[in-house]
Structure 1
Amino acid sequence: MKRTPRDQAESERRITRRGLILAGAQLGVVGILVARMRHLQLEQSSEFRLLAEENRINVRLLPPPRGRIFDRNGEVLADNEQLYRIVIVREDAGDVDEVLARLARLLPLETEDIERVRAEIYRRSPFVPVTVAERLHWEDVAEVAVNTPALPGVNPEVGLSRVYPLGEDFAHVVGYVGPVSDYDLSRIENPDPLLQIPRYQIGKTGVEAKLEDALRGRAGTRRIEVNAVGRVMRELDRQPGQPGADVELTIDAGLQNFVQARLGRESASAVVLDTETGDILALASSPSFDPNKFVRGISVADYRALTDTPLRPLANKAVQGTYPPGSTFKMVVALAALEEGVIKPEETVWCPGYKELGRRRFHCWKRGGHGHVNLIDSLEQSCDVYYYEVAEKVGIEKIAAMARRLGLGAQFNLPLSAVARGLTPDKDWKRRNRGADWLIGDTLNAGIGQGYVLASPLQLAVMTARLASGRALEPRLVRRLGEAEQPPAPARDLGIDPGHLRLVRRGMLAVTNNRRGTAWSSRVELAEMKIAGKTGTSQVRNISAAERESGVLDNDEVPWEQRDHALFVAFAPYDAPRLACSVVVEHGGGGSTAAAPIARDIMLAALSGGMPPLEAYPAAQRREIGDRLRALNLRQYRNGEDGRGRSRA
């Protein structure tokens, strides 16, 4: 059917309207695209130009400065020093082997250095910088910087590294840092991104390791622009990290230096405690080592020298070493018996030189015996037979309970590596660990600090501080962490009869101040510095009946590793105790000859705040002791200089 003119006009009008709508929509879309293109090309052109050049904006982590460690007087024990290093980024380097070959012409790189970098660079993400060389001279860094156009991906950097200005004095306390290892990463559930940086240093031992999280701080970032050949053009943005927290320890660096020097090259350890607060004023282990060598990369020869000696310089003997406490344990047995009422102070025991139990003899250290001895005499002369008799009466359960009350068998919560628990045995312990019943002979051995009993020098110092104060002091090593003060733990009363404690202290005073005392030769003449102590000698070998018949060999007649350990514990001043001390000399022989003289010097140094005053020694000993003290390799003070008269407590 033919359409009318009117219908034709209406149809044309509709088509035109639809066309206009469609055209308008198209123009709108085009307008939006043009506007967006203008925004990208004009307003964001500089940023996209950088991105177009192979993603030339890099984000780098900024390691924060590690927190420093100080002694109680503000002396720096662990610091940060500036160093220059060269790093390479794989994704920027292109041909890594070629770049390393060029770099080797500029730097003193050995073949093993290049192999290490090559192995490390392919184990890490391509954007992670890998350290090629560090601790470089400025001239080397400048030469690399000049040649960076020919060394894509290579960047000179200024960083920080740990340094220990007091070296050996604090190696066992502060510890040291070293590069993060795969083993370190495997022990951490959610590793900090900082730890992924190759050769990033973390604490390995001591306070450095135990307070790692606080000392490390938090990483910062920086965005840098680099050109097509890898040269850094400019820094776009920097977000500084959070520095690690500083740590203040309770230890006095001057006293620590004296103690370390006085121990000399002996295989020995010593601990000094403040009997008011429990602060550790000195904690030394000898021989020591230079922790700076571990930071810089210790040589095979140096490491072998530390591990191939029986003196064990890497071990912190003050907290890791455990020893039979010998006669220093006799105060524990005496207090257990007094508290149980099984002995009276004036009650005597006959010592013929041995105690018979069945067909076995338990010998006293004095072959001919001590005769009749009471409590004070037994401590003064260290009679073993007295403590065999007393231990048998009181029993191992009461002895063990008293030992634990005085701090033995406790693993103290200190930021140090491998703090030992020691061993305070009882009947249940032997059943669980040895599958056997406890015997009376075990009790007799425990009564003189032998057998299964083990204690660390730290525990012996805590025991002595508790005896002196009558309170359950806890040792403290950290005074301040960052801005937070670390107050001493409240020390409750031991719950021991004060009269019994006074009796034991009187016995300890007799050890060093009565002519028959085992440490009479280590007495102090000044009343205000009077020391009360107890000697100890612990066997490390069995003495056969045949040897006893023919005569027990002296310590200097047997190999070093078979000689007795020498121990001494002390507190001072006697009338108002402020300090407690323990000294252990491995295989040193007798406690009275090897350990007591060291402990006396240490206590006098701690009480005087400087070199021990010669007038505190018996007149006949002063010349020899003066020569010995002057020969010590002391860092801070000599002959009373730098702090003489200032108490280190």
Structure 2
Amino acid sequence: MADANRKNRQAPHWGKFLNRLNVILIAVFAMFAVLILRLTYIQLVEGDMFTHLVQKTDTNVARVGVPRGFIVDRNGEKLVDNEGLQAISYTRGQDVSAEDMARTADNLAKYIDVDADNLTDRDKQDYFAAKNIDRLTERLSDEEKSLSDDDIYEAQIDKIEAEDLDFSDQEMEAAAIFKKMNAAYAFTPTFIKNEEVTSTEVALVSEHSDELPGVAAGMDWRRVYPKDHLLRSVLGNVTTSEEGLPAEMADYYLAKGYARNDRVGNSYLELEYEDSLRGSKAINETEVNQNGEVVRQEQTYAGEMGDTLVLTIDSKLQEKLEKFAEEYLQNRSAPSNNQIYIVLTNPNNGEVLAMVGKQRNEDGEIVDNALGTISSSFVMGSAVKGATVAAGFHYDIIGTDQDNVMTDQPMNFAGTPTKASWWYTYNRDSEPVQLDEKMALARSSNVYMIKLAMAIGGITDYYDGMSLMNLDPSTPEKLRAVYQQFGLGVPTGIDLQNESAGINGGIPDNPGNSLDLSFGQFDTYTPMALNQYVSTIANGGKRIAPHVMKEIRQGQDDYQNGSVVYDSQPKILNTVQISNEELAAIQEGFYDQVNADYGLGHSAFEGFNIPVAGKSGTAEAGEGIENVTWVGYAPYENPEVAVSIAIPGVEISGQSTNVQEMSREVLDMYFNQED
């Protein structure tokens, strides 16, 4: 009875349990049915879409540098060229791990030889860590394992022991390869090796491409100089792919679409005309799978090489003059005289035909210093007297319709040494000489220039022992105002960087120094400024900016057929403020200096086949030392070349430097090149 009652009490509960179980089973069955239906739908209806997603790759576009444009002389002779090179490059995927790169580096080291001499301990540590990160993690303490990602990596590096870095030769090369791969930017080809790559290495890399993801064999280029060291300082340099963009200009170049490892011009013409020389980048498409691995690389646009710069320089003339300058320093100069500068231009348009600078360094080696023609300045002496005569005309001290004769004799002033013309130095018994402005230039009279400066400064009478305290303090600035019209003491405007305007000595404490300025003994000027000065005299009074860029032609291998995209035109900076007749008097004085019997250059140029006008100069540059200079142009009636020569530091005794004869040799090289 009791058992029956117990069963009756349990039956309702058991039934409820069974009902709940049935509900759960039905629900589970329904869920499975829905899942099966969903899977069936995905498999049959959307299967292709998901398969595509799994196999989906991303295509990234990279722009790759092309060979730079050529630099040629006015006759098409190449001064800067490109040499093609076989190369091995690596393109890094977006999410490629250090471990994957180390594996690729290990494989690549089997097939190419690379220089590992410059590896640092940190380079080797990074390579070891990429291959053994798990081992290094095991060496960390629990506290170190809780560090941030950056700090934990440094902790792992600290756990590397000396014996871990005992690499074989091949491992050293793999570490060097890994270093370049690890520094690469995503989807930007980076050269692993681009010098002395052998055909065997190219073949091996191509053959084993399946185990070298991102690695490709291709071509690179480098700048070469067919004329060797000719004008190297002016042509400038290009960064290497390792150097890439200069840090101080990186943001500027990146904003213009450059990559960080792009090669760019970093000095002078290569820098000045970077936009023209760089060319149009090639476009490479890189396809990457879901693992970040590069699965395809294809060039969709070959790019276009940079434009060709055509210079005004005549490289054959430049070569001859450089050889001439080197021979002078080797055989005719003294220890104090370790520089020589020669500039030739077309006075009618400012084209620089040759700019020669040679310097003997401390080791006795003669090196190129063509940039010294625009950056080095010296006291130039009597060569600048044409500008002083122009100042006399400008301030109405002399005139073409009046008697300009003055007496040349030694001048003694209170508180300053005797001032005299050069012939008094050699013959103190010389009689006073009567000179007009033309003869003063031809015979190079210091006294004539001094008297012009005195008159500009308000002193018209001279007597022995007189004081110069009444000389107008503005006299130097009045002289300089005229000198600058000819290009002396101001930038010439040449299309090169870092030009010097020379040194302005300011207002001298001793008034006698104001007079020294009148015959080139106070301020300093560059050889290029000296050339602009004589060019202004030669062309009838127009100061034209010198330039070395003649034109730019559209880039292609056959550059001579490329269309002209830029053609330089003469840039007139100013016209001198004296009359044509007054300028003609200066020109005649220069002509007489070379051609008249009493001219200082007559004996040197006697019998020369082209009529020349010119002016020589000497300037004290220290005890027993002087700078010698010459300026001139030819032919006299229709000038086509202007010349300036500056030879600083000549020893007055023990060295024979006849700048007049040297100027004849220079002009002979220009006019009689075939001979």
State TM-score, norm by structure 1.
0.72
Q: Provide the residue aligned with 1:321 in structure 2.
A: 376
Contact 2:394 2:577 in 1 (8 A): no
Task: Output the CA distance in 2 between the equivalents of 1:32 and 1:349.
Answer: 114
Over 3 Å counting, the alpha-carbon distance change for 1:318 and 1:333 in structure 2 is same
Task: Output the CA distance in 1 between the equivalents of 2:492 and 2:357.
Answer: 18
Question: Which one of the candidate residues 337, 346, 349 is aligned to 1:277?
Answer: 349
The alpha-carbon deviation at position 158 of structure 1 amounts to 0.3
Q: Provide the residue aligned with 1:509 in structure 2.
A: 591
Task: Output the CA distance in 2 between the equivalents of 1:103 and 1:327.
Answer: 69
Secondary structure of the equivalent of 1:264? helix
Task: Output the CA distance in 2 between the equivalents of 1:110 and 1:149.
Answer: 24
1:242-261 equivalences under 5 Å are 242-261=304-323
Question: Which one of the candidate residues 44, 49, 60 is aligned to 2:55?
Answer: 49
Per-residue CA distance 1:406-463 (angstroms, 9 max, x = gap): 0122323433231222235554xxxxxxxxx654123122112122x11111111111
Contact 1:94 1:152 in 2 (8 A): no
Contact 1:185 1:191 in 2 (8 A): no
Q: Provide the residue aligned with 2:616 in structure 1.
A: 535
Task: Output the CA distance in 1 between the equivalents of 2:220 and 2:512.
Answer: 63
The alpha-carbon deviation at position 245 of structure 1 amounts to 2.1
Task: Output the CA distance in 1 between the equivalents of 2:65 and 2:602.
Answer: 57
The alpha-carbon deviation at position 87 of structure 1 amounts to 2.7
Q: Provide the residue aligned with 1:110 in structure 2.
A: 115
Which letter maps to 2:486?
L
Task: Output the CA distance in 2 between the equivalents of 1:585 and 1:184.
Answer: 36
Which letter maps to 2:114?
L
Whether 1:596 aligns to 2:601 is no
Which letter maps to 1:356?
F
State TM-score, norm by structure 2.
0.69
Task: Output the CA distance in 2 between the equivalents of 1:35 and 1:61.
Answer: 41
Whether 1:196 aligns to 2:259 is yes
Whether 1:361 aligns to 2:402 is no
Task: Output the CA distance in 1 between the equivalents of 2:56 and 2:49.
Answer: 16
Question: Which one of the candidate residues 272, 278, 286 is aligned to 1:210?
Answer: 272
The alpha-carbon deviation at position 32 of structure 1 amounts to 11
Secondary structure of the equivalent of 1:110? coil
Q: Provide the residue aligned with 1:132 in structure 2.
A: 192
Over 3 Å counting, the alpha-carbon distance change for 1:124 and 1:379 in structure 2 is same
Which 10-residue stretch deviates more, 203-212 or 360-369?
A: 360-369
Q: Provide the residue aligned with 1:379 in structure 2.
A: 441
1:256-335 equivalences under 5 Å are 256-265=318-327, 266=329, 267-287=339-359, 313=368, 316-335=371-390
Whether 1:572 aligns to 2:672 is no
Which consecutive unaligned segments of at least 5 residues does structure 1 have?
1-26, 289-305, 428-436, 544-552, 554-562, 612-638, 640-649
Over 3 Å counting, the alpha-carbon distance change for 1:33 and 1:226 in structure 2 is closer
Which letter maps to 1:134?
N
Which letter maps to 1:420?
S
Over 3 Å counting, the alpha-carbon distance change for 1:110 and 1:476 in structure 2 is closer
Which letter maps to 1:157?
G
Question: Which one of the candidate residues 454, 475, 485 is aligned to 2:524?
Answer: 454
Which letter maps to 1:196?
A
Which letter maps to 2:231?
F
Contact 1:400 1:425 in 2 (8 A): no
Contact 1:387 1:448 in 2 (8 A): yes
Which letter maps to 2:662?
I
Over 3 Å counting, the alpha-carbon distance change for 1:191 and 1:32 in structure 2 is farther
Task: Output the CA distance in 1 between the equivalents of 2:578 and 2:43.
Answer: 90
RMSD between aligned residues? 3.8
Matched-pair identity in %:
23
Task: Output the CA distance in 2 between the equivalents of 1:63 and 1:89.
Answer: 14
Count, aligned residues? 531
Secondary structure of the equivalent of 2:264? strand
The alpha-carbon deviation at position 152 of structure 1 amounts to 4.4
Contact 1:585 1:594 in 2 (8 A): no
The alpha-carbon deviation at position 364 of structure 1 amounts to 4.4
Which letter maps to 1:361?
T
Q: Provide the residue aligned with 1:339 in structure 2.
A: 394
Per-residue CA distance 1:530-584 (angstroms, 9 max, x = gap): 111111223322x4xxxxxxxxx4xxxxxxxxx4222111111112222111111
Which consecutive unaligned segments of at least 5 residues does structure 2 have?
1-36, 121-175, 330-338, 457-474, 554-564
Secondary structure of the equivalent of 1:586? strand
